[in-house]
Structures are given as structure tokens and as C-alpha cells.
Amino acid sequence: MTDTLSIEDLRGILVGCAGGDALPADIADVPFEELGYDSLALIETSAVLKRDRGLVVPDDLITEARTPGELLRLINDRIGV
């Protein structure tokens, strides 16, 4: 089983995928819309998770996440499977 992801890991991936100046310190419960990430940013994140960590989070599932915290739970649930 792969190690679970931390919110800081996810932050690094999001910033790498879609840029990230002026992100608040704690992003876990801030809606993606407020963080400036749209659905394409999440699809890019899904592609990078698959490519770099072998984690498959389908596009239709990843775009349902409303905050980084929700996305993190989604990812770690799948790691736990």
C-alpha cells in the first residue's frame, strides 16, 4: 500500500499543475473556486497523480471535490483500498 498524501503534498501538486501565488496558509477547507482552481486544474492534477504516483482518480470523481480537504480524502480513500 502506498503512503497516504498530506495536505502539503497536495498543495505542492496543485501549485505545480496550475500555479499558486497568493494561496492562503491553510487551504484544506477553502473552495477551489476561491483558490482560483477550475475543473481543468483538477483534471491536470488527476493526470499528475496518475503519472507521478500511480494513483488513479477518475476525472468525474476528482471534479466533484469542492475543496483540497475533500480531494485529499478522496485520494487517501483510494490509497486505502
Contact set with another protein (CB under 8 A): 17-22, 36-37, 40-41, 43-44, 47, 50-51
| Cα→Cα distances 65→18, 38, 59, 78, 81, Å | 16, 11, 10, 14, 19
- Considering beta carbons, is residue 62 or 72 the nearer one to another protein? 62
User: What are the cell numbers at 26?
Assistant: 491553510
Smallest separation (angstroms) from another protein to the CB of 67: 17
From the list 21, 42, 25, the residue with the least C-alpha distance to 33 is 42
Smallest separation (angstroms) from another protein to the CB of 19: 4
Smallest separation (angstroms) from another protein to the CB of 51: 5
